[in-house]
Amino acid sequence: MSEPMTTTVDVNGHPCRVWTKGKGPKLGFLAGLGGLPRWLPFLDRLAESRTVVAPSLPGYPGATGHTELDTHLDWVLAVRQIVEKAGLAGADLVGASVGGAFAAEMAAIFPGHVGKLALIAPFGLFDDKEPAADPWAQRKDVLPGLLCADPANWTDLVAAPEGANSVEWPIEMTRASEAAARAFWPLGNTRLEKRLGLIAAPTLILWGDRDAILPPSYAGKFAQGINKRINKGLNGPTRVETVPNAGHLAYLDQPDAVARAVLAHFA
Amino acid sequence: MKLMWFHLMPYTELPEDFNRKHPSVWVDIHSSLFDPRRAHHMYNDFMDELEYAAELGYDAVCVNEHHSNGYGLMPSPNLIASSLARRTTDTALCVMGNSLALYNPPTRVAEEFAMIDCISGGRLIAGFPVGSPMDTCYAYGQNPSLLRERYLEAHDLVKRAWTEKDTFAFNGRYNQQRYVNIWPRPIQNDPHPPIWIPGGGSVETWRWCAEMDYVYCYLSYYGYKAGLTTMQGFWNEMEKLGKDRNPYRAGFLQFVGVAESRQQALDLYTEPAEYFYGRCLHVDARYATPPGYTTEATQRAGIQSMVSKAANTASYSSKLSMKATNMKDIVDGGYVIVGSPDEVVEQIRHVAKSLNVGHLMLLLQYGNMSKDTTKYNTRLFAEKVMPKVKDLFGEWEDKWWPKPMAKGQRAAVPAFRPQTAAAE
């Protein structure tokens, strides 16, 4: 697994890391809870046929500036700046979990910025009848099993690499959790429901069948919301696919299957 | 020194098997455990106890704010304080305090505190805690990443609301109000009621208290031995900032159980202490660390001190002993001071001097302690301990104590005589 190229873009005066690797048309990836403390096998699979551009949103590993963002509008505009500055405007976009909610916002509010869209268990909705689990109120030993079907996949994601600063690394991991909380506390509900009908991009919704954070039934709610299409005449089919043996961060549990589904949708 | 009588108002009838059957005393404690008809008696007992302490000459009575909490039945301490304002005459009323970020708009705090100050004739101490994670982020749903900024801004707003003479517009990051002009206004207006800050051991809080000239209060349940490091850190920081060692810059919470003899004290206070440290502090760890609640500077200091502590077996084992729930360890750890009056005198003098704390907040009711035992503890302390420790720190001026109206100018509150009312 070779290293991606690292560049930095500025958002509100704070640096945000952008990782780029691969060949072919650009594909953007907005990561889920925890962000990208390290490069992933999932991204390598995508990079075989696409140029993968993975920017870190403010507060996630490699980026700061979340403390500037007070409202959902602040967040959405920060993501727009990142998408533009990372050269992703108009490219196909994949967003997972918390990043999925922002990918959906981009497609809804700035339709020209998103080619095709793939959402992997996105945040943004909350159903009283099937409440999402609280990712910010979990004991340390329980959390990995809630985020991934195989808890080791989460543990490996956040484990300090050799040579990492033993003080700063855990702070950076907590900061990623704080950044997610800052945008999605307490229920993960950003009222995205009101805007789903604005999404014009052909959309693939992927959901791990063992997602213990957001119930897999939320996939249908997203599809239904998008298919309401506020402006009739918008086109592009919306499709739901379930990923077997995958948890909330399905791209960690089943990198090959998720990458295959995404690439097929973008083909 | 000042001796202040603090009530947490714990629910006193949590079942024996509480810890086994319930994950947490806080946030999601089950409603079936709460019997409002029993709580009627608890509240009235607790308020009797606070009034009794005031009668016996404690310098202040203290109340605080908790939410969804089985050991703290005061979501609104201001309700209790307003009642105490009428049923006490000279005692300071220490509301320790209102978690500013939980009030929308925060001028609500400025108003209610001004009311208490007016009703009491200027006896209010205004406590401004950030609030625990369980209270603020979980029970009240506040965003942990925004909490401190909101708290600091609310503080600025409340202070301006108290001190500015004309109606003003507040254009904050989180609060915008076109017309800020609170009525009533506090009696203590030179410049405002004393502000005390209960906080953990963060350097940022110490610096802020020094800068603002506020009292810093360390309200730990683990007593003076565990509190020593924190208070030493506080005083070291004050020295660095060029502040004097006036012990009235600080407040500290200490559990006490006094009786005729040490054995009698153990007989009386073991059950309520074990109830408190066992059942009342049974908090689910998942509610302890919402991300963003602890600043990165404090996280950094914590990780670094853990690294250095890990090399030190003695402090590591003392950290483990923080979880003591049996009386021997509770007493050995210094969480609760027990003994005969003279033994307690000796320990209180040691606590005050070693921590250099002029405002000692005493928990003389804890856990499921009955009203009779609480009154006994309170009276014995007032009669046999207080006179022998009051002299401490006489050389220092307490610049952070309420300045009430002169006694002769204050309203005469008639005694409540229900039998007279019934006859009329």
Interface confidence (ipTM) of the complex: 0.94
Minimal Cα–Cα distance from A134 to chain B, Å? 10
Of B144, B287, B303, the CB nearest to A170: B303
Residues of A in contact with B286 (CB under 8 A): 137-139, 142
B201 or A38, which is more confident?
A38
Angstrom distance (rounded) from CA B232 to CA B223: 14
Per-residue pLDDT at A150 exceeds 70: yes
Sort A180 into a burial class: Cβ within 10 Å, 0-12 / 13-18 / 19+.
buried
Of A167, A175, A181, the CB nearest to B143: A181
Per-residue pLDDT at B309 exceeds 60: no
Check residue B306 and give its pLDDT.
63
For all residues of chain B together, what is the average pLDDT? 94
Check residue B82 and give its pLDDT.
98
Contact A185 B141 (CB under 8 A): yes
Contact A136 B300 (CB under 8 A): no
CATH (residue range A5-266): 3.40.50.1820
* pLDDT range class, residue B308, cuts 50, 70, 90: low
Q: Which residues of B74-107 are buried (b: 16+ CB within 10 A; e: fewer)?
A: bbebbebbbbbbebbbebbbbbbbbbbbbbebbb
Minimal Cα–Cα distance from B29 to chain A, Å? 15
Contact A181 B286 (CB under 8 A): no
Check residue B312 and give its pLDDT.
37
- The domain locations on chain B are 2-423
- The domain locations on chain A are 5-266
3-class secondary-structure state, position B4: strand
Of A166, A174, A182, the CB nearest to B299: A174
* pLDDT range class, residue B318, cuts 50, 70, 90: very low
CB B327 within 8 A of CB B273: yes
Number of Cβ within 10 Å of residue B233's Cβ equals 16
Check residue B402 and give its pLDDT.
98
Mutation target for A interface from B26, B136, B145, B299: give the one with most A CBs within 10 A.
Answer: B145
Per-residue pLDDT at B416 exceeds 90: no
Per-residue pLDDT at B321 exceeds 90: no
Check residue B325 and give its pLDDT.
87
Check residue B304 and give its pLDDT.
79
Angstrom distance (rounded) from CA B147 to CA B130: 8
Contact A70 B307 (CB under 8 A): no
What average pLDDT score do residues A97-109 get? 98
CB B186 within 8 A of CB B114: yes
Contact B145 A174 (CB under 8 A): no
Residues of A in contact with B284 (CB under 8 A): 139
Minimal Cα–Cα distance from B298 to chain A, Å? 10
Check residue B310 and give its pLDDT.
43
Look up the pTM and report it: 0.94
CB B351 within 8 A of CB B360: yes
Contact A167 B304 (CB under 8 A): yes
Q: Compare all CA atoms of chain B with the CA of A168 and give the residue at the minimum distance.
A: B300
Minimal Cα–Cα distance from A177 to chain B, Å? 6
Contact B292 A182 (CB under 8 A): yes
Angstrom distance (rounded) from CA B318 to CA B311: 13
Backbone angles phi, psi at A217, to 5 degrees: -65, -15
Chain centre distance of CA B327: 23
Whether chain A has a CB inside 8 Å of the CB on B38: the answer is no
Percent of residues, chain A, with pLDDT higher than 70: 97
Mutation target for B interface from A57, A72, A136: give the one with most B CBs within 10 A.
Answer: A136
What average pLDDT score do residues A115-129 get? 98
Contact A67 B138 (CB under 8 A): no
pLDDT in tens, B76-121: 999 999 999 999 999 999 999 999 999 999 999 999 999 999 999 9
What average pLDDT score do residues B384-388 get? 98
Angstrom distance (rounded) from CA A18 to CA A41: 17
Mutation target for B interface from A185, A187, A189: give the one with most B CBs within 10 A.
Answer: A185
Residues of A in contact with B307 (CB under 8 A): 166-167
Contact A174 B291 (CB under 8 A): yes
What average pLDDT score do residues B198-219 get? 93
Angstrom distance (rounded) from CA B334 to CA B221: 10
Sort A267 into a burial class: Cβ within 10 Å, 0-12 / 13-18 / 19+.
exposed
Residues of A in contact with B303 (CB under 8 A): 166-167, 170-171
* pLDDT range class, residue A230, cuts 50, 70, 90: low
Minimal Cα–Cα distance from A33 to chain B, Å? 12
In this structure, what DSSP letter does residue B367 have?
T
CATH (residue range B2-423): 3.20.20.30
* Lowest-pLDDT choice from A81-90, A237-246, B320-329, B370-379: B320-329
Minimal Cα–Cα distance from B140 to chain A, Å? 10
pLDDT in tens, B191-207: 999 999 998 888 889 99
What average pLDDT score do residues B10-34 get? 97
* pLDDT range class, residue B298, cuts 50, 70, 90: confident
Q: Compare all CA atoms of chain B with the CA of A187 and give the residue at the minimum distance.
A: B141
Per-residue pLDDT at B363 exceeds 50: yes
Check residue A235 and give its pLDDT.
55
* pLDDT range class, residue B322, cuts 50, 70, 90: low
Check residue B301 and give its pLDDT.
85
What average pLDDT score do residues B323-334 get? 92
Residues of B in contact with A70 (CB under 8 A): 146, 173-174
Minimal Cα–Cα distance from A61 to chain B, Å? 14
Q: Which residues of A touch B (CB under 8 A)?
A: 66-67, 70, 136-139, 142, 166-167, 170-171, 174-175, 177-182, 185-186
* pLDDT range class, residue B305, cuts 50, 70, 90: confident
Percent of residues, chain B, with pLDDT higher than 90: 89
Residues of A in contact with B296 (CB under 8 A): 171, 175
* Lowest-pLDDT choice from A141-145, B357-361, B413-417: B413-417
CB B85 within 8 A of CB B28: no
Longest dimension (CA), chain B: 74
Residues of B in contact with A185 (CB under 8 A): 137, 141, 143-145
Per-residue pLDDT at B316 exceeds 60: no
CB A75 within 8 A of CB A180: no
What average pLDDT score do residues B345-359 get? 98
B110 or A237, which is more confident?
B110
